[in-house]
């Protein structure tokens, strides 16, 4: 109850109908509690068709919670049934104040049938620890839900369409002066990639991709920048190893669907960036010289005797091997020169 002075009244009635009433005063102070306000509540688009045809398949519900509270978002049917929208995606944890984003596909990505076509009331309800409840409401129209139907019909006019199958283009272990042995096509070329996608999609850790990406960016900027030293690059290599371990063992994504999953793609791209960061940091650490944009303050001079070579980074058994065995080709009589300003 709000702060203020209240009059209370108590009335007793006997079986014979006699009554007796007592009144008094009640003063409430320091009891005002801030409401769990929802200053932002938007739905876009307000008409969508969850049928996996790539056209308006999803809608996004954005809610801003002004204070810590329990937040539920659900569709309200005409008969009062509640269809809850799956948990939010984003950086705000459940119950905290902040922005919540719900990516709603009608449940079709998870293999469920979407709600029947029609216009629904969408309710965002916040309730704080003392029981205060605030609701915001809007409408959402669902149409043409379900699996898409496709028809393949003969082309009535115009040119014929001819399909051809091209053979697999051989890949060879070759050098500039000799043709090498053929590289056989793997038995399951996509197997390793699909296994990694499945691992990411079903990860149930506690660390979001954006947290690991930020940690990776910080150590690369601080330790493998324009000017480099051994201690900094060694720290970056160690930091990246720890980030990689968390990426493998403690990653968390919110969207486990199979269609248009930007959460999954963000996690996948983070793995690719970690591969590049690992390669960059370790290659720079192993090359004990300065050359071009690789400027080491502890090795300021070029070392053509040992490092006029290409850097090969070879992933093997979970590690990266650095190989300087291949010399730079100088057959075109273009000699390297020191970069001066």
Q: How far apart are CA 63 and CA 41, in angstroms?
A: 5
- What pLDDT sits at residue 223? 95
Specify whether 201 is located in the same domain as 313: yes
Task: Output the domain CATH number for residue 254.
Answer: 1.20.58.100
CB 286 within 8 A of CB 278: no
**Considering only CA atoms, which of 194, 196, 205 is closest in space to residue 254?**
205
Each of the 341 residues of the chain gets a pLDDT tens digit; together they read 667 788 989 999 998 889 999 998 988 776 667 888 898 899 988 998 888 777 888 888 989 888 899 999 999 988 888 999 887 666 678 888 888 888 888 888 777 888 888 999 999 999 988 888 999 999 999 988 776 655 555 555 555 555 555 555 566 666 667 777 777 777 887 888 899 999 999 998 999 999 999 999 999 999 999 899 999 999 999 999 999 999 999 999 988 888 888 889 999 999 999 999 999 999 999 999 998 888 999 999 999 989 999 999 998 888 899 999 888 888 777 777 777 76
199 with 319, same domain? Answer: yes
Query: Is 181 a domain residue?
Result: no
> Is there a domain that residue 300 lies in?
yes
Tell me whether residue 26 is in a domain: no
Q: How far apart are CA 128 and CA 65, in angstroms?
A: 11
> What is the crossing angle of helices 262-286 and 209-223, to 10°?
20
For strands 171-172 and 133-142, give the pairing: unpaired
Domain check: are 119 and 202 in the same one? no
Q: What are phi and psi of 54, to 5 degrees?
A: 85, 5
Q: How many CB atoms lie within 10 A of CB 186?
A: 9
How far is CA 5 from its chain centroid?
52
Alpha helices in 202-261, H assignment, sequence order: 209-223, 230-249
| 203/138 same-domain check | no
pTM score, two decimals?
Answer: 0.49
22 bridge partner residues = 10
Within a domain: 230 = yes
Q: Are 51 and 71 in contact (CB under 8 A)?
A: no
163 part of a folded domain: no
222 and 319 assigned to the same domain: yes
Residue 132 lies in a domain: yes
Q: Which element (helix H / strand E) includes 191?
A: helix 191-201
- In terms of domains, do 228 and 291 share one? yes
The domain boundary residue, chosen from 142, 172, 200: 142
The residues pairing with 14 across neighbouring beta strands, listed in sequence order, are none
Q: Residue 84 sits in a domain of what CATH number?
A: 2.60.40.2550
252: containing domain:
191-323
Q: How far is CA 147 from CA 40, 108, 109, 140, 216, in A?
A: 33, 8, 10, 20, 40
Q: Tell me how many domains the chain contains.
A: 2
- Asked if the structure places residue 28 within a domain, the reply is no
**Residues 201 and 314 both lie in one domain:** yes
Q: How many CB atoms lie within 10 A of CB 274?
A: 17
The answer to whether residue 18 is domain-embedded is no
Angle at the Cα of 268 (from 219 to 285), degrees rounded to 5?
A: 30
């Amino acid at each position: 109850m709000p702060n203020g002075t209240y009059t209370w009244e108590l009335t007793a009635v006997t079986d014979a109908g006699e009554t007796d009433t007592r009144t008094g005063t009640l003063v409430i102070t320091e009891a005002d509690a801030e409401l769990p306000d929802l200053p932002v509540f938007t739905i876009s688009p307000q008409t969508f068709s969850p049928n996996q045809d790539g056209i308006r398949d999803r809608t996004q519900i954005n809610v801003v919670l002004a204070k810590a509270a329990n937040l539920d978002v659900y569709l309200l049917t005409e008969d009062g049934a509640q269809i809850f929208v799956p948990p939010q995606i984003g950086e705000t944890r459940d119950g905290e104040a902040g922005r919540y984003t719900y990516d709603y596909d009608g449940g079709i990505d998870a293999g469920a049938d979407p709600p029947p076509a029609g216009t629904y009331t969408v309710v965002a309800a916040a309730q704080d620890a003392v029981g205060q409840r605030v609701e915001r409401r809007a409408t959402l129209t669902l149409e043409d839900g379900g699996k898409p139907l496709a028809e393949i019909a003969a082309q009535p006019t115009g040119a014929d369409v001819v399909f051809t199958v091209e053979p697999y283009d051989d890949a060879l272990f070759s050098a500039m002066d000799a043709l090498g042995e053929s590289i056989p096509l793997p038995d399951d070329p996509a197997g390793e990639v699909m296994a990694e996608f499945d691992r990411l999609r079903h990860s149930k850790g506690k660390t979001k991709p954006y947290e690991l990406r930020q940690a990776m960016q910080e150590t690369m900027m601080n330790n493998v920048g324009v000017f480099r030293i051994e201690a900094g690059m060694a720290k970056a290599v160690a930091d990246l190893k720890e980030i990689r371990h968390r990426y493998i063992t403690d990653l968390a994504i919110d969207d486990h669907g199979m269609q248009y999953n930007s959460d999954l793609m963000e996690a996948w791209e983070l793995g690719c960036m970690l591969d590049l960061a690992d390669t960059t940091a370790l290659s720079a650490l192993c090359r004990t010289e300065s050359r071009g944009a690789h400027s080491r303050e502890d090795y300021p001079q070029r070392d053509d005797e040992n490092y006029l070579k290409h850097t090969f980074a070879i992933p093997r058994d979970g590690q990266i091997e650095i190989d300087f065995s291949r010399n730079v080709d100088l057959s075109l009589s273009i000699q390297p020169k020191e970069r001066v300003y």
